A and B are shown apart, each in its own frame.
Chain A
Amino acid sequence: MTTTPTPQQHLETGSALGHSVPRKDSAQKIRGQVKYVGDTEVPGMLHGKVLRSEIPAGRIRSIDASAAEAMPGVVCVLVGTDLLDIDPYYGHAIRDRPIIAIDRVRFAGEPVAVVAAETEEQAEAAVRAIRVDYEPTPAATDLDGATGPGAPLVHEEPARGGAFHGLGNLPERLGNVCYRYELDWGDLDAAFAAADVVVEGTFEFGSAYQYSMETHACIAQVDGDEITMWANCQHPFLVRAEMASVFGVPLSNVRIIVPFLGGGFGSKSYTRLEPLTIAVARKARRPVRVVARVDEAILTSRQHSCRIHLRTAARNDGTLVARQAVCLFDTGAYADNGPRVVATAGDAAPGPYRWEAVSVVADCVYTNVSPAGSYRAFGAVHQQWAGELQVDEIARKLGIDPLEIRRRNLLRHGEDVRPGGKPLDGDLIGDVEKAAAALGWDRPRTEWVGRGLSVGVLAAGAHPVSCATVRMEADGLITVNCGTTEVGQGARTVMPQIAAEVLGLPVDRVRMGGTDTRFTPYDRSTGASRSTTVAGLAVQRAAEDLRRQLEDMAGGEADPAEYLNLMRGHFGFAGGELIGRADVHPEGSGSYAEGPVFWEVAVGAAEVEVDPDTGVVRALRTATIADVGRAINPAFVERQDEGGGIQGLGTGLFEEVLFDGGHLSTETLLEYRVPTTRDIPREMSCVIVENADGPGPFGAKGCGEGALAAVAAALATAVADAGVPVNQLPLTPERVWRAIQSRNDKRSEV
């Protein structure tokens, strides 16, 4: 366990960097003063409620909203035919999704109409009074139903690329496959033929729900061609561009104000409730607020489920030689972020080992269930557990220790993760050794206790575009303006720490507010562990720009104690202000040229106890590695790893969104269980590794996602080590119990 520097320590050293300075927003949050979007009201605001499809697939014959429209307090009911004056489709990867259903529905839960009324109760009552006449059509409600011969097509129209897919030319849709990612190198057949050991299996990964405790919420106000929103989006600048294009208004006329977010984890990535809220506000000619219930939030975004057929080959000396992965990802009725998830999963499928040959084919498949999007560590969490189970299976067959087989085969710093792109920028062997040590790898173990390791990397940083300004006003206080959203990660504390360090000021002289796209400089997105790395670099450069201006005024070194005098000398009175500005963009050479921005490390270890009578798995201990280059705020790094790790525990052991015939059956937190204090391991070690090898400020690189993938995978390898390999996540008691029974059956046959 690392020792976290105390919050006070930075005051003694005078530097904010590398110290666990307290969150700048903690008092506001502890006192319940923060206004999230759902707590926000604007004058004249109405409440919007959504009518959702009851069937997974079908045509809409007619909608009768007349009774609803006549109900008390109802201002309007938005239906699909209200949208025919615009191009009402959105989707950042594939523009396949109507704002609300227009002529057909593609999943049970798809928005079909939106009521705006004076109160939420009135809106809810009116939703119940709308009559929809559906003509059901055959539905493809899971991967089997969507990929077999004669499978009903979820989409029949030609595919249109969205604005931010960044995945090259979109290939033709093949049946329900809307995107395919392929990765190949070496001679696969020869490598498998020459290998001594081959393991093969099919792995099923269930879909989790991000459950940011604050659900999706949006307030929209439309005045002519000006659109103003208060929205809890992680990527306001991308949503702005998409809404401008859908509603046919100038980009800068769309203004999005983002207060604090009550968590995101990817559920608030890209566009969510914004288009339907704008559409209903446009019709109502009044501002409208829409806040999702939890069941609606699950239907708005969840994690992809997938099926992976995996083969791995090795030589008798434990050298890994080849891997083949054929993967199907269930993206639901709309592509959402599926293509990106699938591409990232494709990159993660080989695992960071030195292969002679690799072949990956990963398909993104439409089905008639609710759309899946981003969830922390996407791609890596889908693949890592399966790949690592096979590495251990080979190790077991060859009698090699799991730590040793990884030592022999893991990529080293500077080696290619895949041909093209950034070589490995971390120290994976060092990391896995630290994880094993933190767990106590060599301690004796008892029956039904298992220990597992897992190693992976995750393409992180997204597209490296961030802009920032750092402003010094006439009282000497500094404001950082940068479009990173405060989702809980601590951006509004870390960015001031970075600027304070550059300017040689105490961190309490620097602050940062929320995003308002009208005034806040552009930032691509808040996700992919990019805030500290990419936006933080823009802030560092902007602060340096400000410092240079002060140095020019001083004619040399600028003493922080003299900043105000320098400014007064420059302006000739106690006014004016200085603004430092900078950006980060894909840069000609160096690590930003080829992408990813960095490889986020996903290394962990777990110890579990399996109850052979019930199949219940208890996580006893976990260790995660936060290989962050440089920890700007170590306590925040630990919180990110702990939080991600516990989400990994949920994904690994029990969280699963389930559908029955296309209908969501885990509708509430009673059916969809998330980890509580009862579930967490007795010991959770987070080892912070600081090799200053990141591309961000002061050598930093992002963290917080890797732990989710690492813990989920380490739980799977640990349960296998306890004697129960299970090719399905989550490792529910039933699955584990069945695996124990079938193992016992096999033993008694022998």
Chain B
Amino acid sequence: MLIETTVNGVPRTLEVAPSDLLLDVLRDRLGLTGAKRSCDVQVCGTCTVLLDGVPVSACTTLAHEARGRRVMTIEGLAETPGFARLEEVFEHHNALQCGYCTSGMALTITSLLEAGELADDEDVVREALSGNVCRCTGYRAIIDAARELAR
């Protein structure tokens, strides 16, 4: 089927099969490899992208669900004006190691900030980030970075 969607601000018309996953279309067809595959079952959050500003797991989202909606990946987010602050705060807290989870974390945090759902509060941040796994850092630095961003 043919769908119209917007990816990182660019209107796209894409031919997709009903069973195509959004993650495969983004990575293999559009070369947007910033969205990573890991668990494949909507647990780890490395494949997070924003659909109309809301974080979704692209590994379990069908490509045609993006019809008529705005998709934002890390490549798009990195071009937005607010990104420099996130980058600076992540770097300052050393909130990444291997970096595999980082784009998913960045998209989740940004969308929550924009929705006003993040606060400089340990419990709020822990709950908000519980769908994003990081196997390297032990989370402390990521939580601290998110709290600072919410300040």
Contacts and interface: CB of A to CB of B under 8 A. Distances in A.
Contacts of A674: 133, 135
Contact of B74 (A7, A31, A490): A31
Contact of B78 (A32, A39, A646): A32
Contacts of B39: 294, 668-669
Nearest to A20: B94
Nearest to B94: A635
Contacts of A635: 94
B129 A677 contact: yes
Interface of A is mostly: loop
Given A27-B87, A213-B44, A32 B97 contact: no
Nearest to B79: A31
A646 B98 contact: no
Interface string B110-148: 000000000000100111011111111111111100000
A410 interface: no
Interface string A195-215: 000000000000000011111
Contacts of B90: 26, 30
A26 B97 CA distance: 8
A31 B98 contact: no
Interface centre among A31, A35, A635 (most CB of B within 10 A): A31
B112 to A, nearest CB: 13
Contacts of B33: 32, 35, 39
B46 interface: yes
A669 B57 CA distance: 14
Interface in A1-40: 7, 20, 22-23, 25-36, 38-39
Contacts of B97: 263, 488-490, 639, 643
A276 interface: no
B54 interface: no
B96 A26 contact: yes
B150 interface: no
B151 interface: no
Contacts of A639: 94, 97, 136-138, 141
Nearest to B90: A30
Interface in A668-687: 668-670, 674-678, 680, 682, 684
B91 A27 contact: yes
Interface in A479-506: 487-490
Contacts of A676: 129-133, 139
A530 to B, nearest CB: 17
B102 interface: yes
A227 interface: no
B4 interface: no
A98 B139 CA distance: 39
A261 B98 contact: yes
A20 B91 CA distance: 11
A262 B139 CA distance: 16
B98 A677 contact: no
A682 B133 CA distance: 18
Contacts of A638: 94, 141
A287 interface: no
B127 A678 contact: yes
Nearest to A119: B28
Interface centre among A20, A30, A487, A680 (most CB of B within 10 A): A30
Given A33-B34, A646-B138, A213 B94 contact: no
A353 interface: no
A213 B133 contact: yes
A141 interface: no
Given A211-B135, A213-B101, A32 B74 contact: yes
A669 B43 contact: yes
A7 B98 contact: no
Contacts, number: 164
Contact of A213 (B35, B100, B130, B131): B100
Nearest to A674: B133
A669 B59 CA distance: 13
A680 B74 CA distance: 27
B78 A31 contact: yes
B140 A680 contact: yes
Contacts of B129: 676-677
Contact of A32 (B34, B40, B43, B142): B34
A215 B91 contact: no
Nearest to B106: A30
Contacts of A643: 97, 135-138
B125 A677 contact: yes
B74 to A, nearest CB: 3
A293 interface: yes
B103 interface: yes
A680 B127 CA distance: 12
A146 to B, nearest CB: 31
Given A677-B129, A678-B127, A262 B34 contact: no
A260 B99 contact: yes
A26 B103 CA distance: 11
Contacts of B40: 293-294, 668
Interface string B81-105: 0000011001110101111111100
Contacts of B64: none
A668 B91 CA distance: 32
Nearest to A647: B135
A433 interface: no
A670 B91 contact: no
Given A23-B91, A35-B33, A642 B135 contact: no
A645 interface: yes
Interface string B6-39: 0000000000000000000001000001111111
B73 interface: yes
Given A29-B99, A263-B100, A22 B94 contact: yes
B41 interface: yes
Nearest to B105: A30
B36 A213 contact: yes
A636 interface: yes
A674 B132 CA distance: 11
A160 to B, nearest CB: 35
A30 B91 contact: yes
Given A262-B99, A639-B97, A31 B137 contact: no
Nearest to A7: B92
A479 to B, nearest CB: 21
A265 interface: yes
Interface in B41-94: 41, 43-44, 46, 73-75, 78, 86-87, 90-92, 94
A669 B37 CA distance: 13
Contacts of A23: 91, 94, 96
Contact of A25 (B34, B43, B99): B99
Contacts of B132: 676-677
A36 B36 CA distance: 10
Interface in A640-674: 641-647, 668-670, 674
A490 B97 CA distance: 7
A262 B97 CA distance: 9
List the 3 shortest-distance A-B pairs measured between CB atoms, nearest first: A32-B34, A29-B99, A488-B98
6 contacts: A27-B91, A31-B78, A490-B97, A642-B137, A674-B133, A682-B122
